[in-house]
Amino acid sequence: MRKGEDMERTESEKQPAGKKLDSGSLLLIVYLGLIFFLVMLGGASAGHAAENEELARVKLDDVKGGELLMPTGNGDFMLLPSLAQDVEINIDGMAARVAVTQKFENPGEGWIEAKYVFPLPDESAVDAMTMIVGERRIIGKIKEKEAAQKIYQQEKSEGKKTSLLEQRRPNMFITSVANIGPHEQVQIKIEYQQKVQYQDDLFSLRFPMAITPRYMPKHREVEEPPVDAKVDFAESGWAVQTDASKEDKTSLVNLHLTLKSGFGLQQFTSLYHQVSTSQEDGTYHLVLADGAKPDRDFVVQWVPKPEVSPKAALFEEVIGEEKYLLLMLMPPRLDSRILPREVIYIIDTSGSMGGESIRQAREALLTSLASLKPAEQFNIIEFNDQARALFPSARPADTENINEAAAMVKGLEAGGGTEMMSALKLALEDQGSKERLRQIVFITDGAVDNEGELFAFIAEHLGQNRLFTVGIGSAPNGYFMSRAAMAGRGTHTYIGNISEVKNKMGLLFDKLAAPCSTDIALKAENGSKLEVFPNPIADLYLGEPLVVTIKTDNQAKAFTLSGRQLGKDWSYSVPVQQGSAKGGISKLWARAKIRNLMESAILGGSKEKVRGEITSTALKYGLVSKYTSLVAVEEKISRPKQEALKKGQVANTAPKGMTIPVPAANAMFAGGAKTATPKGLFLLLGVCLLAFSTTLLILAGKDGKA
């Protein structure tokens, strides 16, 4: 045996040195494998980190303004670069024509589908959409929603450029754009009609540039209509992040406004943006200053000279045998008595009210408390995740109670969800006494997802109460503010800056203290048929004019407008033949009718009947609605059949400076997520190398033992 062992050792020693595998060499292989694996993984992570600087992913409800998004296939969207946004506003009398053009670019090498999400006024009559690619202009056509979607999907699959404009909410729209080529620029032009607002002797127009995050209540009594896109909600109920927003990379806005008021102006200005203004031959021009970001609503105001302040206006559009009218008229003030009141304040302290909004809300409430008279009664309801009342019931506005309330208000901070229903239930469960007007002042940004459920509850439980909304912040939910006030037979006010609080709350309390005009009706004097919207006509408060749209026939000569104020009747005769001819009035009337129909469905009307009437009205007048959409198709095929339409990330060619929140669900392990580098391949190679090295080490160990 000894001799055999010596012979074995001798043969072993005869092997070439390069073939020998000792444990040190094997360990070196293992270490090299680990280093290779970590370097490759680090490169992937570095690629991801660099990518985080360039790309952004959002949920559909994360959108804060007009943005172009690309579906990723897992419920979220990638933010594509926006080159510019151009806004043209032309105001003539009481109506405005607005065109919004946003320019975008596909930064990648593949063909993509994108979605353009943007806010508009909730009363806007959207009637035109044009897709502009190079020198080509593709005009949208109005179709029933399902038919438009079918056309879009079919043409998209065939490789043709196509776009689809849909209403997601009354004040939020989505345009889908398919087959955008590599590095190709696309322009989307949206046009609509809008009414001008007039109250307290000043005219105004609001153009929304931002969208406030919406809160989804934890318990919903009424199902809201489903939307096409997936939306994820956190446990708190918020559909978007409510903490401090990241660095804003939103595109800038170029805005030009032209105003033909028809009378001389005392003031013409923008409330929240730097502008330059000029005037020539009775036409006023306004241009937004360079560098303006769409991070808050744009509001322009103009005040007529005292000697020409209008008390009535009538504009008409004649189409065939039909006449469409826009009527504005200030009602008389017959009585200036101050009526005894009970005022219930509701203040929103939810997460979306953080920062400047809660400061404005506190200041508004403190200003209101200071205006109360000792003979009046009041209470305060604060809400976020739940509602809490300051007092068990309304108390006199004496010094002691006002001081206690002021101390409570000064300590309010924003945080939590927006469980608005609980606050409304607490406020409306008490109908008050017949000896006092019971007025509810609701201070909020309206950042809720279940507007329809809230409107229905207000209308059903209002009783003798009256509800007044005060919109707070840079981009309050205007749809909620106006509709809640209408359901509550009150009025709405906007406060966009803390410097406005004293003046605007003062005007609101003048309205609350003065008698209002009720039971307002409009009839044709010669028996002509009238369709008037809104229907019924809302009560009118101090400083507020009647503004209605009317459809009638060419035979109508005059109307009688009537109402009551503290038991006293009043009436006016309105000659129809004196109206000034203006285009677009028919579309404003149709939009008002659609809005009226939507409200009737919310309040319990037949949904099938309402859908049919809305669809037929929208198709006749060419309007986008809940049931109709605009679709545009380019005839020629753009995308070759062999080229896939990407719905994922555009690799390595994204706009600089954008950030991506890394979804935990996408992480393969801690710190890892999908990137443009082949990290999965590197991971597999690293694991295989480790397994191979370990196998060699085990075999070497066996050889050593042998």
Confidence of residue 45 (pLDDT cuts 50, 70, 90): very low
- Give the residue with greater pLDDT, 478 vs 294: 478
What pLDDT, on the 0 to 100 scale, is given for residue 274?
92
pLDDT of residue 645: 76
Give dist(CA 682, CA 686) in Å, integer. Answer: 6
Half-sphere exposure at residue 398, Cβ-oriented, CA atoms within 13 angstroms? 3
Query: What's the whole-number mean pLDDT along residues 561-589?
Result: 88
Return the structure tokens found at 68.
Answer: 């172009």
Q: For residue 6, what pLDDT is reported? A: 46
Biggest CA–CA distance in the chain, Å, is: 133
More confident residue, 596 or 70: 596
Q: Is the CB of residue 54 less than 8 Å from the CB of residue 679?
A: no
Class of domain 57-304+624-637 as given by CATH: mainly beta
Mean pLDDT of the chain: 79
Per-residue pLDDT tens over the stretch 406-441? 999 999 999 999 899 999 999 999 877 777 889 999
Mean pLDDT, residues 595-607? 86
**CA atoms 192, 585, 588, 296: torsion sign:** positive
Q: What's the average model confidence in pLDDT over 48-62?
A: 49
> Which pLDDT does position 698 carry in this prediction?
60
pLDDT digits (tens, 9 = 90+) for 360-398: 999 999 999 999 999 999 999 999 999 999 999 999 999
555-579 average pLDDT score: 86
Do the domains at 57-304+624-637 and 341-513 have one common CATH topology?
no
Q: What is the pLDDT at residue 628?
A: 98
pLDDT at 245: 39
Q: Report the pLDDT averaged over residues 572-581.
A: 83
What are the Cα distances from residue 91, in Å, to 59, 77, 86, 584, 622? 35, 36, 16, 12, 21
Query: Which of the 8 DSSP states describes residue 538?
Result: P
- Helix, strand, coil % (nearest 5) of the chain? 30, 35, 35
Separation of alpha carbons 30 and 510, rounded Å: 82
Quote the DSSP letter at residue 73: S
**Strand-pair category, 628-637 with 141-144:** antiparallel
Residue of higher predicted confidence among 10 and 244: 10
d(CA 488, CA 444): 15
Pairing of strands 82-92, 253-260: parallel
477-484 mean pLDDT: 90
What SS3 state is found at 532?
strand
pLDDT above 60: residue 704? no
| C-alpha pair distances (Å), 150 with each of 128, 144, 153, 503, 658 | 20, 10, 5, 52, 34
Q: How confident is the model at residue 323 (pLDDT cuts 50, 70, 90)?
A: very high
Residue 364: HSE in the Cβ half-sphere, 13 Å Cα cutoff: 33
| Tens-digit pLDDT profile for residues 135-146 | 888 899 999 999
- The separation between the first and the last C-alpha atoms of the chain, rounded to the nearest angstrom, is 15
Reported as half-sphere exposure (CB side, CA atoms, 13 A), residue 113 has a value of 22
pLDDT at site 410: 96
DSSP annotation of 292: -
* Contact residues for 350 (Cβ-Cβ < 8 A; gap 6+): 215, 383, 384, 385, 414, 415, 416, 417, 418, 447
Euclidean distance between CA atoms 580 and 92, whole angstroms? 11
- Where do the domains of the chain lie? 57-304+624-637, 341-513
CATH of domain 341-513: 3.40.50.410
Question: Out of 10-14, 339-343, 390-394, which region has the weakest mean confidence (pLDDT)?
Answer: 10-14
What is the distance between the alpha carbons of residues 559 and 526, in angstroms, rounded to a whole number? 8
pLDDT greater than 60 at residue 4: no
The mean pLDDT value for 659-679 works out to 33
User: What does the pLDDT read at residue 296?
Assistant: 84
Check residues 51 and 180 and name the one with the higher pLDDT: 180
* pLDDT for 343: 95
Is the pLDDT reported for residue 232 higher than 50? no
How does pLDDT run across 182-200, given as a tens digit for each residue? 988 888 899 999 999 999 8
**pLDDT score of 677:** 39
Residue 212 pLDDT > 60? yes
pLDDT in tens, 93-132: 999 999 999 787 788 888 888 887 788 998 999 999 998 8
Q: Which two tokens stand for residue 678?
A: 């082949």
Q: CA–CA distance from 308 to each of 73, 129, 262 (Å)?
A: 58, 38, 10
Q: Tell me, what's the pLDDT at 513?
A: 84
Q: Would you state the pLDDT for residue 554?
A: 84
What value, to the nearest 5°, has the Cα angle with vertex 266 and ends 265 and 270? 85
**Residue type for 546, please?**
L
pLDDT at site 606: 86
Structure tokens at 594: 């659609």
> What DSSP assignment string belongs to 108-128?
SSSEEEEEEEEE--TT-EEEE
pLDDT, tens only, 498-556: 888 889 999 998 888 888 888 999 998 888 889 999 998 989 998 899 999 999 998 88
> Sorting pLDDT into bands at 50, 70 and 90, what band is 659?
very low
686 compared with 571, residue with greater pLDDT = 571
Model pTM score? 0.76
Q: Which residue has the higher pLDDT, 258 or 579?
A: 258
Helices 23-52 and 679-705 pack at an angle, to 10 degrees, of 170
* Per-residue pLDDT at 31: 57
- Please report the pLDDT score of residue 634 as a whole number: 86
Query: Hey, is 244 helix, strand or coil?
Result: coil
